[in-house]
Amino acid sequence: MPNIASIPYFIPEIVLVVFAVVVILFDLASKKRGGEGAAYLALIGLVVAVIAAIVIGSEDRSLFLGMVRLDSFALFFKVIISVATAATVLFSIRSVELDPATKGEYYALLLAVTLGMYLMASSTHLLMIYLSLETVSLTSYILAGFLTHSPRSSEAAFKYITFGAVSSGTMLFGISLLFGMTGTGDIMLISSRLGEMFSQGNVYPLAVLLSITFILAGVGYKIASVPFHMWSPDVYEGAPIPITAFLSVASKAAGFALFIRLFYSGLQSADASVDWSLMLAVVSALTMTVGNLAALPQQNVKRLLAYSSISHGGFLLMGGVLLTSEGLQAILIYLIIYLFMNLGAFFVVILIANEVGSETIDGYRGLVSRAPLIAVSMAIFLFSLTGLPPLAGFAGKWILFAAVIKEQLYWLAIIGLLNSVVALYYYVRIVKAMFLETADDTESLSFSTGSLVLLLVFVVPTLLLGIYWNPLYELSRASLGKLMG
Amino acid sequence: MLSLMIFIPLLGMLVVLFAIRREQEELAKRVTFIVTLIPLLIAVFLFITYDRSASGHQFEENMMWIEAFNIRYHVGIDGLSVTLVLLTALLGPICVLASWKIEKGIKAYLALFLLLETGMIGFFCALDMFLFYVFFELTLLPMYFLIGIWGGPRREYAAIKFFLYTLFGSVLMLIAMIAVYLKSGTDDVARTFDIPTLIELAKTPGHALADPTFQIWAFLGFFIGFAVKVPIFPFHTWLPDAHVEAPTAISVILAGILLKMGTYGLVRVNFAMLPAGMDFFCNGEGTWGNSLAILGFINIVYGSLCALAQTDFKKLVAYSSIGHMGFVLIGLAARNESGLTGAILQMFNHGVISAMLFLLVGVVYDRAHHREINGFGGLGSKMPIYTGITTLAFMASLGLPGLSGFVGEALSLLGAYSKFKMLTILSTAGIVVGAAYFLWTLQRVFLGELNPKYEDIAEINGREIATLVPLGILTIVLGIWPSIAIDMFREAVSILPLVQ
């Protein structure tokens, strides 16, 4: 579809841009800086964008001369990303870390990063893929370093930039190789040309493998897979907690959207010759193992959740190595569930950081007697992250492993499941502190009704989706649409 | 009917959590007691009305749950499960009574206990593999907290060890379960989790599920999952820790029900659904053919010898449980009617007897605040009723003819003798050792001169007697007239893949 005709289908993205600008202007104009007006404006922007995206629908359309694609897959990720961003906004309102004076820019940047993620979920051209990735990265660097008074936050931003620059540079090199070989940036065309070239034998498989590996550096960096995961614990620990939550969910989801589209629409035909799926299977096994083992000794809950988030990335990646629609469905379902349980866990971290002033496990001691509802909710999130029935995490784990075992990758399934036993150990350390140990300070904590309601927004799906998850399956199948051909 | 029995405790949990205020501790205890009586009444009703001449499942409920994977909410009971359901329902109110003295956070304790009861009853009723697994895992969480919060000095260690061991076993079981599901059909032929259907498919020659190699691997996956729970050597090390640290009522549940979940799983899944796998490990030939029987033998002898070496009363009972579960294993390995009948009977009897033993340990611990066997002496003169009941439980446990323990063990060994002569003969050593440690304990605790420290020790009280009497009556009745129990599962055993 040509450029001008594409614009009506691009309204959600335009809405985000408009609201980002409005948020800044509002912040400049408003007398009382640091109010919550900017936050609510950003929320309205997100809601309008999602509604627009849903109204426009998910009929397959190629926009802007093949740069961007509008389909049910993109819509799915747009909704997921928007929900995560909206949660981040609500968390940020409650966060005491953030400097009220700069909250205007903060929310504008959040909208900008959302725009980048929308594009990550819908790009179908190598150039657009790279640009969307960079949009997200650049804004994320600033958000991670937003605590200007905190050296850790600056360190986080610096590490993030360094790693980001290296990996996106590497990815760009891989993209140029792929472009050089196929003569096009359109991933659909790349797919068919690679297929032709392989069948005619006029391509070096090694060259393709090399370019795929380089591209993987960029994608792997976004989803924090081994060996491109080094940045994430430091960034997660240093960044403001709402941003950590945001990065661990939205950024990961967008990364997976990009990964699936690129590797399944673009490079699937190359798998027969260069077997990138095996390479990814090894990466996946390493990612979850490294993430879990590194999480074991952590004392800082944020850092612990950062490593756990790495290992969940490895889990998700399992679904991506199977080359089946079941595998991709499992990724989508797991992402929905992960959204609720992980954001919920981070929200508790924020509440505790605000009230107790501690991010270490010691700060959680005896929480059950100080704030029973919070402690029970946290236990639900953590056990769900472990994947114990009847919580939602189990449903996600179940669907994922069913897909893996169906492809008879037993070694991967066994590594994955043993990892979930390891995971239990470190999640339970927090539970143990909350329930089995006694606090030095026994004063009970009080939280605003708004916070508790928001907490329930995460608890309820974590419970219900574990008991009945058939709709998730239907939704994921519909969202996958024609992606698998 | 079954759903009512499964979910009444869950409902009770919500009532206890949300409808009762923190100060109303007495009320919470009474409500919980009444709530646990309901499943007991239903279980008794089931026991009476159960059609003993039919072999299939009764009181079935079958509904679609999750269409995408053809997961159904399918519950029902047959002869194998009805006795265990009754046992679970019986131990429910008994454990609530035994928990009456708990002071710390009684509301949360009772709520978790009720959740545990839902998991246990649900597990024994589930006829859908997925549901079965969910209930199996559902018992983990409450158990972790019950041991970890209300346990003894090393409770945190014991709780996490229990949790990790069981989860380790159950993830292997999960792989096997998914593999069985995937093999049960193809993309065109609907797959199923329905246990009765899977049992039929596994017997159909030519079906993918009937493939012996597949069955052997699936057997291993399930076996490790259940072996941790039973526990079978070398997966048993969590048990002494968990038992010693757990509060009395929870030890009763652990020994009485949770261990049975392992053996019940072995019968229901490994035995009934994977006959070719079972054959590979029990046919008495080749490298692997004796493995199950050998594990049973190790459990019996090793468990008994360890029990003999203990000076902690509770640890002694815990190790004796490991020994007694060995009889179940060796009876199963025999795969004949007598062995299997013995094994199933032993499951029930051990549930009753070990529950008694742990309750008795709890009684003396509440008074003396220690469990050191050598630290007592002569209690018989001060606590005659207590001594009498303990003697009954000891005798039942060591297999005195006329009491229930004897029947199960004798039938298991009788069945095993026709297949594994040498191992069976060696296993009887376990009975001798069992007699030794129980009699020796009896002597050290109750006979001899009264330890002056316990001049004023109080006799067992009415509440405690009330917890013990029903169990005591059962051991005597089942010892004299075991066919009330055996009749329940005779038909169910007869349709299992027995080998003569």
How far apart CA A381 and CA B499 sit, in angstroms, is 48
- Kindly state whether residues A247 and A193 are assigned to the same domain: yes
Please give the model's pTM, rounded to 2 decimal places. 0.93
How far apart CA B122 and CA B119 sit, in angstroms, is 5
Interface residue B218 vs chain A (CB under 8 A): no
Contact criterion met (CB < 8 Å) for B149 and A435: yes
| Facing residue for B167 by CB, picked from A414, A421, A473 | A421
Contact criterion met (CB < 8 Å) for A389 and B168: no
A-proximal residues of B, 389-428, CB under 8 Å = none
The answer to which of A60-74, A268-282, A335-349 has the lowest mean pLDDT is A268-282
Phi and psi (nearest 5°) for A59? -65, 140
How far apart CA A148 and CA B43 sit, in angstroms, is 66
Residue B194 DSSP class: B
Q: Which residue of A has its CA nearest to B156?
A: A436
Task: Tell me the nearest-neighbour CA distance from A424 into chain B, angstroms.
Answer: 7
- Which domain, by its residues, includes A256? 1-274
With contacts defined as CB-CB under 8 Å, which chain A residues touch B182?
402, 405-406
Spans of chain B below 70 pLDDT: none
How far apart CA B265 and CA B325 sit, in angstroms, is 13
Last residue of one domain, picked from the residues A244, A274, A304: A274
One-letter identity of residue A305:
L
Give DSSP secondary structure letters for A229-282.
-THHHHHHHHS-HHHHHHIIIIIHHHHHHHHHIIIIIISGGGHHHH-HHHHHHH
Contact criterion met (CB < 8 Å) for B182 and A402: yes
Among all chains, which residue has been given the structure tokens 């001369």? A65
Q: What is the pLDDT of residues A359-371, one digit of tens each?
A: 899 888 888 888 8
What is the interface size between A and B, counted as CB pairs within 8 Å? 73
- Kindly state whether residues A280 and A162 are assigned to the same domain: no
- Kindly state whether residues A6 and A31 are assigned to the same domain: yes
How far apart CA B445 and CA B372 sit, in angstroms, is 9
Give CA separation, A380 vs A168, A388, A391, A464, B223, in Å. Answer: 37, 10, 8, 12, 29
Among all chains, which residue has been given the structure tokens 């080359």? A323
Tell me chain B's radius of gyration from C-alpha atoms.
22
Q: Above 80 in pLDDT, residue A272? A: no
- Kindly state whether residues A256 and A298 are assigned to the same domain: no
Interface residue A189 vs chain B (CB under 8 A): no
- Kindly state whether residues A336 and A217 are assigned to the same domain: no
Contact criterion met (CB < 8 Å) for B164 and A421: yes
Best to test chain A binding among B178, B180, B187 (most A CBs inside 10 Å) = B178
Q: Choose among A195, A166, A193, A199: nearest CA to A180.
A: A193
Contact criterion met (CB < 8 Å) for A402 and B160: no
How far apart CA B412 and CA A315 sit, in angstroms, is 45
Task: Tell me the nearest-neighbour CA distance from A416 into chain B, angstroms.
Answer: 10
Q: Above 70 in pLDDT, residue A152? A: yes
How far apart CA A31 and CA B472 sit, in angstroms, is 80
Contact criterion met (CB < 8 Å) for B178 and A401: yes
Contact criterion met (CB < 8 Å) for B160 and A468: no
One-letter identity of residue A357:
G
How far apart CA B128 and CA B120 sit, in angstroms, is 15
Q: What is the pLDDT of residues A156-177, one digit of tens each?
A: 888 889 999 999 999 999 999 9
Tell me, what's the ipTM? 0.90
A-proximal residues of B, 136-195, CB under 8 Å = 137-138, 140-141, 144-145, 148-149, 155-156, 159-160, 163-164, 167-168, 171-172, 174-175, 178-179, 181-182
Confidence bin at A484 (pLDDT 50/70/90):
low
Confidence bin at A256 (pLDDT 50/70/90):
very high
Helix or strand run (H / E) with residue B237: none
- Kindly state whether residues A364 and A470 are assigned to the same domain: yes
One-letter identity of residue A350:
I
Helices (H), B246-383: 248-253, 259-265, 272-273, 275-282, 291-309, 313-334, 337-368, 379-382
How far apart CA B494 and CA B81 sit, in angstroms, is 15
Spell B401-416 as b/e; 16+ CB within 10 A means b.
eebbbbbbbbbbbbbb
Task: Yes or no: say if B486 and B396 are a contact pair by the CB < 8 Å rule.
Answer: no
Best to test chain A binding among B135, B164, B168, B171 (most A CBs inside 10 Å) = B171
Q: Choose among B326, B367, B218: nearest CA to B278.
A: B218
How far apart CA A167 and CA A179 sit, in angstroms, is 18
Return the SS3 of A305: helix
- Kindly state whether residues A246 and A346 are assigned to the same domain: no
| Facing residue for A405 by CB, picked from B67, B171, B178 | B178
Interface residue B429 vs chain A (CB under 8 A): no
Pairing of strands A68-70, A61-63: antiparallel
Interface residue B210 vs chain A (CB under 8 A): no
Q: Which two tokens stand for residue A451?
A: 């916070």
Interface residue A482 vs chain B (CB under 8 A): no
Q: Choose among B103, B130, B110, B94: nearest CA to B29.
A: B110
Contact criterion met (CB < 8 Å) for A388 and B163: no
Give CA separation, A275 vs A97, A313, A322, B86, in Å. Answer: 46, 21, 11, 56
- Kindly state whether residues A258 and A296 are assigned to the same domain: no
Pairing of strands B71-77, B58-66: antiparallel
One-letter identity of residue B85:
V
Q: What end-to-end distance do the CA atoms of chain A give, in Å?
A: 21
Phi-psi region of A66 (alpha: psi -120 to 50; beta: other; left: phi over 0): left
pLDDT of residue A415: 93
* Domains contained in chain A, number: 2
Spell B3-29 as b/e; 16+ CB within 10 A means b.
eebbebbbebbebbbeebeeeebeebb
Confidence bin at A33 (pLDDT 50/70/90):
low
- Peptide bond before residue B482 is cis, with ω within 30 degrees of 0: no
Give CA angle at A116 (A113, A122), nearest 5°.
145
- Kindly state whether residues A246 and A286 are assigned to the same domain: no
Return the SS3 of B126: strand
Confidence bin at A58 (pLDDT 50/70/90):
confident
Q: Above 80 in pLDDT, residue A35? A: no
Contacts of B220 (CB under 8 A, 6+ apart): B172, B176, B277
Task: Tell me the nearest-neighbour CA distance from B30 into chain A, angstroms.
Answer: 24
Helix or strand run (H / E) with residue B86: helix B79-98
- Kindly state whether residues A333 and A447 are assigned to the same domain: yes
| Facing residue for A469 by CB, picked from B66, B138, B141 | B66
Contact criterion met (CB < 8 Å) for B156 and A420: no
Last residue of one domain, picked from the residues A243, A274, A305: A274
With contacts defined as CB-CB under 8 Å, which chain B residues touch A402?
69, 178, 181-182
Task: Tell me the nearest-neighbour CA distance from B413 into chain A, angstroms.
Answer: 37
How far apart CA B375 and CA A155 sit, in angstroms, is 62
- Kindly state whether residues A385 and A374 are assigned to the same domain: yes
Q: Above 90 in pLDDT, residue A448? A: no
Task: Yes or no: say if A110 and A91 are a contact pair by the CB < 8 Å rule.
Answer: no
Interface residue A435 vs chain B (CB under 8 A): yes
- Kindly state whether residues A241 and A336 are assigned to the same domain: no
CA dihedral (A107, A109, A113, A119) positive or negative: positive
Q: What is the pLDDT of residues A204-248, one digit of tens each?
A: 888 888 898 999 888 899 888 888 888 888 898 888 999 999 999
With contacts defined as CB-CB under 8 Å, which chain A residues touch B167?
388, 420-421, 424
CA dihedral (A49, A54, A56, A62) positive or negative: positive
| Facing residue for B171 by CB, picked from A418, A470, A474 | A418
With contacts defined as CB-CB under 8 Å, which chain B residues touch A444?
none
| Facing residue for B164 by CB, picked from A401, A402, A425 | A425
Helices (H), B369-403: 379-382, 384-398
Q: Above 80 in pLDDT, residue A25? A: yes
Contact criterion met (CB < 8 Å) for A401 and B174: yes
How many helical (H) and strand (E) elements, i.e. helices and strands, does chain A have? Answer: 22, 2
Q: Which residue of B has its CA nearest to A425?
A: B164
Q: Above 70 in pLDDT, residue A485? A: no
Q: Which residue of A has its CA nearest to B146?
A: A436
Helix or strand run (H / E) with residue B136: helix B129-138
Task: Yes or no: say if B397 and B320 are a contact pair by the CB < 8 Å rule.
Answer: yes
Helix or strand run (H / E) with residue B71: strand B71-77
Q: Above 80 in pLDDT, residue A309? A: yes
Q: Which residue of B has its CA nearest to A431?
A: B145
Contact criterion met (CB < 8 Å) for A435 and B145: yes
One-letter identity of residue B91:
L
Q: Choose among B407, B229, B419: nearest CA to B325.
A: B229
Task: Yes or no: say if A433 and A365 are a contact pair by the CB < 8 Å rule.
Answer: yes
How many helical (H) and strand (E) elements, i.e. helices and strands, does chain B have? Answer: 23, 2
Contact criterion met (CB < 8 Å) for A389 and B160: no
Contact criterion met (CB < 8 Å) for A390 and B138: yes
Task: Tell me the nearest-neighbour CA distance from A291 into chain B, angstroms.
Answer: 19
Tally of CB atoms within 10 A around B200: 13
Task: Yes or no: say if B31 and B20 are a contact pair by the CB < 8 Å rule.
Answer: yes
Residues β-bridged to residue A186: A125
Phi and psi (nearest 5°) for B412? -60, -45
How far apart CA B210 and CA B204 sit, in angstroms, is 6
Task: Tell me the nearest-neighbour CA distance from A472 into chain B, angstroms.
Answer: 10
Tally of CB atoms within 10 A around A358: 14
Interface residue A414 vs chain B (CB under 8 A): yes
